[in-house]
Amino acid sequence: MVELIVGGLFIYAGATKVLDPLQFAIDIDNYKSIPWSIAVRLAFYLPWLEMLCGLALITRRLYLGGLSILSLLISIFIVLSIVAKARGLDISCGCFGHASKYLSFAGHLALNFAILAALLTLFWRARSPQKESS
Amino acid sequence: MARRPDAGAGYAGRPAAVTSHFLRQALLLAALAFVPAIGQAIYFRERVSWQSPIPPSEMVTVRQARAWGADVIWVDARPEEDFTHDHVPGAILLNEDRWNELLPPFLATWSPEKKVVVYCSTQSCNLALEVARRLRNEAQLKDVYVLQGGWEEWLKQKK
């Protein structure tokens, strides 16, 4: 069930960005951490990666790979958001396309931490699958 | 009850083997994502500016915009407090914070023969870029430009 929710969330998040890669490139560029030429390339790549990893969680194929990548991505976003806030940048994370603009910084951070917690829970459950299946 | 993930069994006992399994799976997913991404990038190649957020054709210098004289509508995409503090003479406030509220009065002043020049604080801010994009995509306006260097450049050239 957790896989379905978290995987579905990442598929939704990826799909909103795939529809408007230029907007996502602008959202990445807002962090002022990487040059535009890299931001725009990442804007084409990251949404597909998110969707594939979300699909991996739901279908349980390449499961641990999907978990690892999503945990890494969400951790990077959390760090970048905090750094951006500390630098006084007023940004939208772009996590859910244009809808992200309506999330406050605290709301955005809480959501990302909740997702990270869910991913770590899935890691923990993958460590002891015997308990789960009994 | 739930089906076991394809790489979960034996995790605790063989950390090195599982780490390598993690990596293989992660690399495979990372590689797979390139396929649709490259396809989409090829599809969008003409519509995306790869080297700068704003294609040169959609930017205008302060000098050029001033030369257009009365044919220009200046749009200030900065937050309201910045606009209230100072702005380009005749500029209209239109930012994303109050888009729905500010768009109708802007459209009331717009006419097809006018060029729209949007600016924000500096060259690196993206507010003007986003407002310009929304004016093109949502309001279907043509002749929408972003001011190169933004408000800072306008101030420099005013001196």
Average pLDDT over residues B97-106: 90
* Average confidence score pLDDT of chain A: 84
CB atoms within 10 A of CB A17: 27
DSSP-based three-state secondary structure for B144:
strand
pLDDT of A36 strictly over 70: yes
Which residues have CB under 8 Å from B124's CB, separation 6+? A32
| Residue A103 covered by a domain | yes
Contacts of B22 in chain A (CB under 8 A): 64-65, 68
pLDDT on residue A98: 55
- Which is nearest to A70 in space by CA: B111, B51, B29? B29
pLDDT of A133 strictly over 50: no
At A30, the pLDDT band (50, 70, 90 cuts) reads confident
pLDDT of B98 strictly over 50: yes
Domain extent for A28: 2-127
The span from the CA of A133 to the CA of A76, in Å, is 33
| Per-residue pLDDT tens digits for A40-68 | 999 999 999 999 999 999 999 999 999 99
Average pLDDT over residues B132-150: 89
Percent of chain B whose predicted confidence (pLDDT) is above 70: 87
- Which is nearest to B149 in space by CA: B122, B129, B127? B122
Percent of chain A whose predicted confidence (pLDDT) is above 70: 84
- Is B12 in contact with A69 (Cβ distance < 8 A)? no
First-residue to last-residue Cα distance in chain A: 17
Domain count, chain A: 1
B17 touches chain A (CB under 8 A): no
| Residue A13 covered by a domain | yes
